[in-house]
Structure 1
Amino acid sequence: MRGMTALKFPVITWLESGQTRSARWRSEAALPPHAQLVVVDDRLGVDAAWKLASEGTAMLWRGDWQNARNLLQGLSRRADRQPRSGSQKKPGTPGEAFELHRRNQGRRAQLLAMLLVPLGPDYGVPLRRAQDVRLACSEAYGPSTGEDSIVSLRELLAVISAHEWRKKGVPVPAVEGRIYPHFGVFSPVRGEYVDLVAKATLPANCDLAFDIGTGSGILAAILARRGVGRVIATDMDDRALACASENAERLGLGAAISLVKTDLFPEGLARLIVCNPPWLPAQPTSPVEYAVYDPDSRMLRGFLGRLAAHLTADGEGWLIISDIAEHLGLRSRQKLLDWIAMAGLIVIERLDTRPTHCKAQDASDPLHAARAAEVTSLWRLGRAGGIN
């Protein structure tokens, strides 16, 4: 256990009051411990903090908790006012706009992550006016190692926000209840893909379905609520499996939904297999981004390539995916159709809907053109020659 702790939580060291100090370093994005770190307090202003962050120097906060939050807000505003990387030359293609946007977002995240706060052995924050974050940290990080640790304030605020979402949940009419997302698990806040699964016609006599990459368990819950007798939901992430299990129990669907830790498919055949893979073929930079970014379309290609082997002869695979990657020039529609055909699949029907989220209407968003044209689809797929 000690070796695993050292691997997951490396040590960060710094000089404070003439002495070398150390603590465990926590980063859900797996960032390495900062090589340059100075101790700061309420005397530090936004200008000085921005200069330190820009130079690659992390700041360990020893002042007032609320002042730390105010400083982070000031740094956020400063980051938003900065000229964007490469802004002198307007991106020539949607793909270039996407790459520029990702670089800008990455740079912003890197700078804001330079403000650090301490956590005690019980996850308490030893700062003046600090809020109690112990339960939120236990939910996100698991049981405490009993050691002092250091975390970026930005990440800790995300942990707190996830805790609040987990307490109140997200109302989803299709499941006649709420879904309670955990930290690091994508929240079903975009309702269009949920509605597609809730309204699509189920295959006849559908007594078994697979939900591939279940996440919060939202699609498994919809299928169970619609009368599918048994749903096997899979995921590789322990947080997602725990989240889906909790949601199934809260909704009274625990008997109908089974959770399996595996890469994509469980064993056996099913009449219905659903999958809502990440929509963009790009590299994620944080745990929750794995629900959005799929490097080299690995999950999408894996689902399509193995789907026919797990479908009954008259079964259906439901691929729920947005075409935003096509509008950004990251993947063509023809490439998707080629993958479907090469997998021995045919398209039975495609159900389309338009997103209603706020970014689709925000003309100031750097990806507005792609978002405004975006369509989310449910592709009903069958085995070639297997549909009667």
Structure 2
Amino acid sequence: MHPSQNSIGWMEGGVSHNALWRSEAGVPVPKRVAVVDDRITADAAYAQACEGVALLWRGDFQNARQLLQAMARRIDRKPRKTADAPLDAFNLHRQAQAQRARTLGMLLIPLDADYAIPLRRAPDVRAACLEAYGEAHAPSIVSLRELQGLIGAHEWRKKGVAIAALGGAHVHPHYGVFSPVRGEYVELVARAPLPTTALAFDIGTGTGVLAAVLAKRGVARIVATDNDERALDCARENTARLGYADRIQIVKTDLFPPGRAPLVVCNPPWLPARPSSPIERAVYDPGSQMLRGFLGGLAAHLEPSGEGWLILSDFAEHLGLRPRDALMAMFDEAGLEVVGREDIRPQHPKASDASDPLYRARVAEVTSLWRLAVRPAPR
């Protein structure tokens, strides 16, 4: 392979080498690479990583895992900056997360052309890599941290996530597709009064979990949309596995499919901030683009007397990222009115962890299903 913008180069044994650089988060190719093995200390590895030197591992794989944990402990021992204002706390938290990811991402692992790891005591990650990256034809280099994420996603995909609203049936998230581990938004869709059982649109379907819940509730036909290929494949597999393939049509499009429906459901990202990786696009929505797009196009895709269901956490409000008045103004500008609302409090562990830097916002968080209708024209 010739050096290029997606290849990484290094010197080893006096010879120049290069390989394909893999980073699902879009991390730039490291400019400085040092070849290391089991002899390097955690302090030395941490110091070099902080200086921007990537460490290409040639030792025992399990020792690399232990080294990464030791580097993480050194990061976590550093005193955290604190802030009283929720927005300042959020910004500091994001900065600390980004710096942590950059530092830990400096420990690199080689992959052969078939995704085998050419290191002692290395696990077989070929299936996990194939699911995330597709077919491979050349050796590559990946951060150990990303590789661990691939392995974890592969296990989630095999095991699946039990969904109470589906009678305990499992939804199997693919790599890069947001997992429905926070079940409160699913519960809202499972209990809100249905305006119809004829037809529904599920906008930004992801794993297909909300489309499946609507099908289980008796909706005869659902058109589920997404513009991400991984999400589309994931939704197709899940809806077929759950027995709803004949009632749920998966469509690749940005937001709305053609036509109108009496029920249009959307669970957009809830934080108007920039994502730092593809998986974060399910949480972070710069400038509330998807939220604005959904609200702005809803009236044109709702049948008369239809309802749009917007599932949205108010976490952004408690962080000072988007005031409630701004959301109400979006409804008004889109010609929509609120005809009902269902609320639920999150049950995830961080909501009860007082040591979390965003605890004050998390403990106050409420997730709502806003039932929206087209505002009648003035007489």
Superposition TM-score tier, normalisation by shorter sequence: over 0.9
SS in 2 for 1:203: coil
Q: Give ranges in structure 1 of 5+ residues lacking alignment.
A: none
Q: Which residue of 2 aligns with 1:277?
A: 268
SS in 1 for 2:258: coil
Q: Which residue of 2 aligns with 1:59?
A: 55
Q: Could you tell me how far apart the structure 2 residues matched to 1:202 and 1:301 are?
A: 24
Candidates 126, 150, 162, aligned match of 2:118: 126
Runs of 4+ in 1 over 4 A off after TM superposition: none
Q: Could you tell me how far apart the structure 2 residues matched to 1:227 and 1:318 are?
A: 17
Question: Is 1:13 the equivalent of 2:9?
Answer: yes
Q: Could you tell me how far apart the structure 1 residues matched to 2:187 and 2:84 are?
A: 35
Q: Which residue of 1 aligns with 2:69?
A: 73
Alignment of 1:203-352 (within 5 A): 203-204=195-196, 206-352=197-343
Q: What per-residue deviation string (whole Å, max 9, x for no partner) do you get for residues 65-86 of structure 1?
A: 10001111111111111233xx
Q: Could you tell me how far apart the structure 1 residues matched to 2:29 and 2:79 are?
A: 28
Q: Which residue of 2 aligns with 1:154?
A: 145
Q: Could you tell me how far apart the structure 2 residues matched to 1:296 and 1:62 are?
A: 43
Candidates 22, 26, 31, aligned match of 2:18: 22
SS in 2 for 1:360: helix
Q: Could you tell me how far apart the structure 1 residues matched to 2:244 and 2:202 are?
A: 14
Letter matched to residue 35 of structure 1: K
Q: Could you tell me how far apart the structure 2 residues matched to 1:308 and 1:163 are?
A: 39
Q: CA deviation at 1:335?
A: 0.4
Letter matched to residue 143 of structure 1: E
Q: Could you tell me how far apart the structure 2 residues matched to 1:14 and 1:211 are?
A: 47
Q: Could you tell me how far apart the structure 1 residues matched to 2:37 and 2:139 are?
A: 19
Question: Is 1:98 the equivalent of 2:94?
Answer: no
Task: Name the % identity.
Answer: 61
Q: What per-residue deviation string (whole Å, max 9, x for no partner) do you get for residues 261-287 of structure 1?
A: 111111000010000000100100111
Q: Could you tell me how far apart the structure 2 residues matched to 1:278 and 1:337 are?
A: 17
Q: CA deviation at 1:103?
A: 0.3
Q: Could you tell me how far apart the structure 2 residues matched to 1:20 and 1:168 are?
A: 42
Q: Is the 8 Å Cα contact of residues 176 and 230 (structure 2) preserved in structure 1?
A: yes
Letter matched to residue 262 of structure 1: T
Q: CA deviation at 1:92?
A: 3.8
Q: Could you tell me how far apart the structure 1 residues matched to 2:114 and 2:254 are?
A: 34
Q: What is the count of residue pairs matched by the alignment?
A: 376
Q: With structure 1 as the length reference, what TM-score do the two structures score? A: 0.95
Q: Could you tell me how far apart the structure 1 residues matched to 2:22 and 2:79 are?
A: 30
Q: Is the 8 Å Cα contact of residues 56 and 108 (structure 2) preserved in structure 1?
A: yes
Q: CA deviation at 1:6?
A: 9.5
Seen in structure 2, the aligned counterparts of structure 1 residues 44 and 193 have a Cα distance that, compared at 3 Å, is same
Seen in structure 2, the aligned counterparts of structure 1 residues 357 and 75 have a Cα distance that, compared at 3 Å, is same
Q: Which residue of 1 aligns with 2:181?
A: 189
Candidates 152, 157, 174, aligned match of 1:166: 157
Q: CA deviation at 1:370?
A: 0.2
Question: Is 1:36 the equivalent of 2:32?
Answer: yes
The alignment's C-alpha RMSD in Å is 1.4
Q: CA deviation at 1:168?
A: 0.5
Q: What per-residue deviation string (whole Å, max 9, x for no partner) do you get for residues 310-364 of structure 1?
A: 0001110000000010000000101000100110111000111111111000000
Q: Is the 8 Å Cα contact of residues 272 and 285 (structure 2) preserved in structure 1?
A: yes
Letter matched to residue 296 of structure 1: G
Q: Give ranges in structure 2 of 5+ residues lacking alignment.
A: none
Letter matched to residue 20 of structure 1: S
Q: Is the 8 Å Cα contact of residues 3 and 18 (structure 2) preserved in structure 1?
A: no
Seen in structure 2, the aligned counterparts of structure 1 residues 378 and 6 have a Cα distance that, compared at 3 Å, is farther
Letter matched to residue 60 of structure 1: L
Question: Is 1:353 the equivalent of 2:344?
Answer: yes
Q: With structure 2 as the length reference, what TM-score do the two structures score? A: 0.97
Q: Is the 8 Å Cα contact of residues 3 and 9 (structure 2) preserved in structure 1?
A: no
Letter matched to residue 58 of structure 1: A
SS in 1 for 2:10: strand
